[in-house]
Amino acid sequence: MTAGQFTGGGASGSYLEQLEAAKQFMHDHNDFLVVSHVQPDGDAISSTLAVAWLLDRMGKRYTLANEGDIPGKFSRLWGFDGILTLSQLPDHSSYDTIISVDCADFARIGRVSEKFTPDAKLLNIDHHATNDRFGSRSVIQASAAATVEIIYDLSRHLEMEADIDFGTCIYTGLLTDTGGFRYSSTTPKVMKTAADLLEWGVKGSELAEAFLERMTFQQIRILQRGLATLDFHKNGRISTIAVSTEVIDATGATNEDMDGLVNYARNVEGVEVGLLFKQRNESTVKVSLRSAGAVDVAQIAQSFGGGGHVRAAGCTINGSIEEAIRRVVEEVGNKLP
């Protein structure tokens, strides 16, 4: 299965019409594969489980899958143990009805797409402005703070009577993708939704402690080593942190442990764009970009084949970590106001 087979299916009509199309898609089929992006974050995991909850209540069959390991800190969420890695899927399994959540483009699904049949139908649910509208049907709402916000709206459109398990998934996605309700994406609608979920009995303070406050020993070690590389460019308007494969191996840090490290670069006073460079191997570097507001980092990430949001985006660059820093800093510098 290739991305080209899903090009241009997409999001058409009003948001309400897109929700109706998603509702019809879920009603019309009975056996689904639910996928999210590689190296899933809180929104991707919560969205996967929230969709599973909806399908479960509809009496549908489903399989949940992600290319790699799922961060264990989310194990308290309903259905967590049901998410399979690619290696756990049966060798000769294939799926013809797909729901993709929180993937800005088809490639973000990763190698799980190898399990799609050539004639697979795909529902694409996402909140990234850079989403390329892949899929047979799409619900794309760039104004949503997180993909779970769209799924919450979908549950209401389905007239589902949700419970605390579903609510906890939705709250977790909102909490993690808004940085604890601090980012500019935290709209009145987000706060009203969070208030509703708290009234259902969702334990917001416990979730904040688990997902935003607690740190592993490996996180502390990678933070210590990462901050030692903190550097500034363009008169302090751009800051960078770089972690090599040697540092990652020495600290035992996982991708989950490095989540949020880029914010230390962005949060320095006077910095307009913070950058984190994570070396995957000698020729591949993962770049996270965070903007203080004046620079559209999604546009910059797209120029390198990535994507994301205006204030938070990412891409992968082929080359050495030094070359990646040079190229991205130069491009960001060209976009500074």
Amino acid letter for position 59: G
Q: Are residues 179 and 101 in the same domain?
A: yes
| CA distance linking residue 198 with residue 229, whole number of Å | 40
Residues β-bridged to residue 174: none
Residue 259: predicted pLDDT? 87
Same domain (yes/no): 201, 228: no
User: Are residues 208 and 299 part of one domain?
Assistant: no
Last residue of one domain, picked from the residues 179, 197, 212: 212
CA dist 335 and 59 (Å) reads 50
Provide the pLDDT for residue 83: 99
From CA 205, how far away is CA 213, in angstroms rounded? 10
CATH number, domain at 228?
3.10.310.30
In 3D space, the residue among 206, 255, 178 whose CA is nearest the CA of residue 77 turns out to be 206
What three-state secondary structure class fits 331?
A: helix
By the 8 A CB rule, do 101 and 125 touch?
A: yes
Please report, as a single letter, which amino acid is at residue 56.
D
14's CB contacts (< 8 A; 6+ apart) are: none
CATH number of the domain at 82, please: 3.90.1640.10
Domain boundary pick from 183, 212, 241: 212
Q: Does an H or E element contain 42, and which?
A: helix 42-57
Same domain, 165 and 256: no
Q: Would you write out the chain's pLDDT as a tens digit for each of its 337 residues?
A: 555 555 555 556 899 999 999 999 999 999 999 999 999 999 999 999 999 999 999 999 999 999 999 999 999 999 999 999 999 999 999 999 999 999 999 999 999 999 999 999 999 999 999 999 999 999 999 999 999 999 999 999 999 999 999 999 999 999 999 999 999 999 999 999 999 999 999 999 999 999 999 999 999 999 999 999 999 999 999 999 999 999 999 999 998 899 899 999 999 999 999 999 999 998 999 999 999 999 999 999 999 999 999 999 999 999 999 999 999 999 999 999 9
Residue 138 phi, psi dihedral angles, 5° rounding: -140, 145
pLDDT at 263: 95
Residues 244 and 159 in one domain: no
Q: pTM of this prediction?
A: 0.91
Closest CA to 44 of 321, 280, 229, 259: 259
188 with 51, same domain? yes
Handedness of CA 46, 91, 255, 185 (dihedral sign): negative
State which residues form the domain around 71. Answer: 3-212
| CA distances to 67, 86, 191, 306 from 109, in Å | 8, 11, 30, 13
Distance from C-alpha of 167 to C-alpha of 46, rounded to nearest angstrom: 10
Please spell the DSSP secondary structure of 226-284, one letter per residue. Answer: HHTT-EEETTTTEEEEEE-HHHHHHHT--TTTTTTHHHHHHTSTT-SEEEEEEEEETTE
Q: What total number of domains does the chain contain? A: 2
| Co-location of 206 and 239 in the same domain | no
d(CA 153, CA 144): 10
Do β-strands 83-85 and 61-66 pair in parallel, antiparallel, or remain unpaired? parallel
Strand partners, 290: 274, 312
Bridge partners of 289? 275, 313
Same domain, 73 and 99: yes
